[in-house]
Amino acid sequence: MKLRTFGLSLIGAASLAVLPACKKDEAPPAPSTPTTGQAQTPTPPSAQPQTPPAPAGKSTIRGVVKFNGEAPAAADIAPSADPACEGMALKEAAVLVKDGKLQNVLVRVKGAVAGAPAAPSTPVVIDQTKCTYTPRVQGAQAGQAIQVKNSDQTLHNVRAVTGTKSIFNLAQPPSGPPLTKPVPTDVELLQLKCDVHPWMKAFVAVHPHPYFSTTGEDGGFSLTGLPAGTYTIEAWHETFGTKTAEVTVKDGETAETSFEFSATDKG
């Protein structure tokens, strides 16, 4: 029963009427998260603001990274006495050139890109096999995680640094679980080292978007899913430093550019 009161004031007189009414049971509204110092009004889930999905670009920038002249000779690496390192490369892999094409160049769109999608939930993966980090160079999006595996039957320590600053330094025993760490959002380049096997190196370049690519043996790269626009494209190599190019790409089309390094370039 529900009481409804109708008041009519006439020279101090009042009358009350009671009318029956039925009220249907209703589910209580979903609780809202309290905010200190603010009054809270429950809001049904359907009224919560929704973040629209990031627009998917349809443009591509692709090209090749060349090496002009003779590549510098690779330094020797002394064979390790650790039996788990058997089969490791005995030449430093910083500069890899094949048929005039330069490998392990990180090519990216420099700066922020409007409408770029959020970082993926899957980590970038680096393995330790034959006492070598694989891959040597790759990119990650800020907010993404790094996962380091140990496929060797020996102890490694994974030391991540940016410049001279240590980010983490953890021992990883053989057959141990992968190490998973968040990518720092305030760094552009993370280097991984192993103090047990000091020739081991890997680089993870951190970007605010997913528009980056690492060249393989053919020197090729491809930046896909870009919105139309004009971009500064940067190519980075651990020994030879950076080169840049301005590229304009139209909606749904593919633009091409190329970079060329030589032994006189310094990182």
**How confident is the prediction along the chain (267 residues), in pLDDT tens digits per residue?**
443 433 333 333 333 333 333 334 444 343 333 333 443 434 333 333 333 444 569 999 999 999 999 999 999 999 999 999 999 999 999 999 999 999 999 999 999 999 999 999 999 999 999 999 999 999 999 999 999 999 999 999 999 999 999 999 999 999 889 999 998 888 999 999 999 999 999 999 999 999 999 999 999 999 999 999 999 999 999 999 999 999 999 999 999 999 999 999 987
Q: Residue 223: what pLDDT?
A: 98
Q: Residue 56: what pLDDT?
A: 66
Domain assignment of residue 138, given as a range: 118-202
Q: Residue 48: what pLDDT?
A: 38
Q: DSSP label at 29?
A: P
The answer to whether position 9 is within a domain reads no
Of 202, 222, 256, which one is at a domain's C-terminal end?
Answer: 202
Residue with tokens 């590549």: 71
Entry pTM:
0.78
Report the alpha-carbon distance of residue 255 to residue 63 in Å, rounded: 8
The answer to whether position 88 is within a domain reads yes
If one counts every other C-beta atom within 10 angstroms of the C-beta of residue 146, the result is 26
The answer to whether position 39 is within a domain reads no
Q: Which residues are within 8 A (CB) of 264 and not within 5 positions of it... i.e. 6 or more apart?
A: none
Is residue 217 located within the same domain as residue 100? yes
Is residue 198 located within the same domain as residue 245? no
Three-state SS at 192? strand
Q: Residue 23: what pLDDT?
A: 39
Is residue 125 located within the same domain as residue 155? yes
Is residue 94 located within the same domain as residue 123? no
Is residue 219 within 8 A of residue 237, CB to CB? The reply is no
The answer to whether position 44 is within a domain reads no
Q: Residue 1: what pLDDT?
A: 40
As for how many domains the chain has, the answer is 2
Is residue 215 located within the same domain as residue 265? yes
Is residue 68 located within the same domain as residue 128? no
Q: DSSP label at 122?
A: S
Distance of CA 111 to the CA centre of its chain: 14
